[in-house]
C-alpha cells in the first residue's frame, strides 16, 4: 500500500494542537522535527514526543496519510480545529512499510511519577502496583508525552485526596478526567467542543473502567467543582477566565496549562480577580499556573 507524507512548519505554541487535530482529521501518524534541523524521516520523532524534548521556536510537522486521502483537506481541517493559519505544505510519496507498527514501536509507556503511568493500549503496564491510564494515541488527542500534560497529571496527583469533583475543560482524549477518577475523585466531567474528541474520551474511559462523563460545551452541566483543570492554549485560557472562575467552587483549586513560560504572567493576570496563585511550574519551556479560588 502507498502512503503520502504532508509536511509544513508550525510555531511552537501550536504544535500540540495541530498534531492532535491532524490525527482527528485522518492522519495515521504525526512526526515532529526541529525546523532548523531538516525534515528527513530519520530526524523526525513520532507524535508529541518531540515537543516534550525541546521548546523549538518552529517545528516541521509531517502527517502520514493513505493514498486516496485528500491531504489538503486533512491539513485545512486540522488547522481549523487548532485555530491555526493554513500554511504552505509539501507532499511526498513514502515507501511502503508498516507505518502504524513503526509508529507504535516509538510510543512507550510514560512514567509521570512513581505512582502514575500512561500506557499505550498495546503495552503492558510496567508497574502493576501503580495507577495506569490506558490510552490509544490513534484515537486520543493528548498522550501524556507533552510537558503540559505531564504537569497537569502531576498536579492532579498532588491535589486529589479523595472524593473531589473535577472538571477537565477542553478534555481531548479525556486523559486528565480519567486520571482524576483513578486517583480517587468522586466525579470527573470532561468538556470539549469537538465531537470526535468526546467519542475518543468516552472510549478511553471505558478502556480504563472509570465513570468519567464527557459533554459538549452546549450540554455541559455547569456546576462548580472543587478542582478545575484546563490544558489548552494561552489565548483561549485568557478569554475563558470568567467562565472557569465560575466553574471553580469557593476554596477550590484551578490549574491552567498549554502555555509557554513567557505567557504565564498574562494568563495569571486574567485570573487575578478571583484566584490566589502559587508559584508557576515549568517543564521544558512550558508552564502550569495554579491557584485557589477566593
Q: Show the cell assigned to 35.
A: 525546523
- Do 117 and 65 fall into the same domain? no
pLDDT at 23: 78
pLDDT at 238: 95
pLDDT at 163: 97
Give Cβ neighbours of residue 94 (< 8 Å, ≥ 6 apart). 2, 3, 4, 5, 41, 64
CA Rg, the chain, in Å? 18
pLDDT at 101: 56
- Do 141 and 260 fall into the same domain? yes
- pTM of whole model > 0.75? no
pLDDT at 254: 98
Domain boundary among 76, 105, 134: 105
pLDDT at 14: 85
The CATH number for 139's domain is: 3.40.50.150
Residue 54 · residue 284 · CB < 8 Å: yes
Q: Into how many domains does the chain fold?
A: 2
The residue segments making up the domain with residue 267 are 110-293
Strand pairing report for 116-120 and 29-34:
unpaired
- Do 115 and 92 fall into the same domain? no
pLDDT at 224: 95
Closest CA to 265 of 225, 238, 243, 226: 238
- Do 115 and 238 fall into the same domain? yes
pLDDT at 26: 79
- Do 121 and 97 fall into the same domain? no
The CATH number for 43's domain is: 3.30.70
pLDDT at 143: 62
- Do 270 and 196 fall into the same domain? yes
User: What is the full DSSP assignment across 128-169?
Assistant: TTSEEEEE-TTT-S--S-SHHHHHHHHHHHHH--SS-EEEEE
pLDDT at 49: 32
pLDDT at 12: 79
pLDDT at 96: 53
pLDDT at 137: 52
- Do 257 and 164 fall into the same domain? yes
pLDDT at 40: 37
Question: pLDDT under 50 in the chain at which residues?
Answer: 37-55, 138-141
Amino acid at each position: 500500500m502507498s502512503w503520502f507524507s504532508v509536511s509544513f512548519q508550525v510555531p511552537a505554541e501550536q504544535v500540540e494542537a495541530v498534531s492532535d487535530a491532524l490525527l482527528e482529521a485522518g492522519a495515521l501518524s504525526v512526526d515532529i522535527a526541529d525546523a532548523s534541523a531538516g525534515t528527513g524521516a530519520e530526524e523526525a520523532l513520532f507524535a508529541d514526543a518531540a515537543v516534550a524534548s525541546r521548546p523549538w521556536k518552529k517545528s516541521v510537522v509531517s502527517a502520514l496519510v493513505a493514498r486516496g486521502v485528500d491531504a489538503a483537506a486533512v491539513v485545512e481541517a486540522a488547522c481549523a480545529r487548532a485555530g491555526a493559519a493554513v500554511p504552505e505544505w509539501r507532499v511526498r510519496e513514502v515507501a511502503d512499510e508498516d507505518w502504524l507498527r513503526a509508529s507504535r514501536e516509538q510510543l512507550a509507556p510514560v512514567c509521570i511519577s512513581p505512582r502514575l503511568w500512561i500506557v499505550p493500549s498495546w503495552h503492558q503496564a510496567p508497574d502493576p502496583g501503580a495507577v495506569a491510564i490506558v490510552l490509544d494515541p490513534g484515537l486520543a488527542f493528548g498522550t501524556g508525552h507533552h510537558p503540559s500534560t505531564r504537569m497537569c497529571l502531576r498536579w492532579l496527583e498532588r491535589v486529589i485526596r479523595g472524593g473531589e469533583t473535577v472538571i477537565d475543560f477542553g478534555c481531548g482524549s479525556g486523559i486528565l478526567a480519567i486520571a482524576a477518577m483513578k486517583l480517587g475523585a468522586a466525579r470527573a466531567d470532561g468538556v470539549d467542543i469537538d465531537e470526535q474528541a468526546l467519542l475518543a474520551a468516552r472510549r478511553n474511559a471505558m478502556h480504563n473502567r472509570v465513570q468519567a462523563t464527557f459533554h459538549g460545551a452546549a450540554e455541559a452541566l455547569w456546576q462548580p467543582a472543587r478542582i478545575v483543570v484546563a490544558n489548552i492554549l494561552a489565548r483561549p485560557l485568557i478569554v475563558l477566565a470568567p467562565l472557569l472562575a465560575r466553574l471553580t467552587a469557593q476554596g477550590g483549586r484551578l490549574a491552567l496549562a498549554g502555555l509557554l513560560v513567557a505567557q504565564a504572567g498574562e494568563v495569571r493576570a486574567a485570573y487575578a480577580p478571583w484566584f490566589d496563585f502559587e508559584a508557576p511550574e515549568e517543564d521544558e519551556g512550558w508552564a502550569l499556573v495554579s491557584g485557589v479560588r477566593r
